[in-house]
Amino acid sequence: MTDESERAVQAAVDGELRLLDPEVRASPDHVLELLDPEFTEIGASGRRWDVESVLAVTSGGSVSAESPVEVSQMSGVVLAPGVVHLTYFADNQGRRAWRSSLWRLTETGWRMYFHQGTLTA
């Protein structure tokens, strides 16, 4: 992997981990910095999300009530210049899922464009 590819993957990983941080999720401004305006998600529940629906859920929560998500097996690959695909395993208080995200480089930095979760045992 080239230095440029490593930096791109690391930027996406950093953004992903920030989005999983309860304090970041509680701040609509911070979430908006990380989500692409065209963001969509197919959640582990099967529900389809967009920026507005994510903000409605995350910004109303209490930071102290939300435990950090345990992340493992995070890996990333550059699919094309300015596009990174991440995959990882997440355990959110026993709700376990494989996660996949697409990040793209915009004029304002790296932003999550697409996310999908699939529940697993």
pTM, two decimal places: 0.90
Number of domains comprising the chain: 1
Q: Which amino acid belongs to residue 72? A: S
Residue by residue, pLDDT tens for the chain (121 residues) are 799 999 999 999 999 999 999 889 889 999 999 999 999 999 988 999 999 999 988 776 555 456 788 999 999 999 999 999 999 999 988 999 999 999 999 999 999 999 999 999 8
Domain that holds residue 11: 3-59+68-119
Contacts of 28 (CB under 8 A, 6+ apart): 55, 58, 59
Q: How many Cβ atoms are within 10 Å of 40's Cβ, its own excluded? A: 18
* CATH code where residue 94 lies: 3.10.450.50
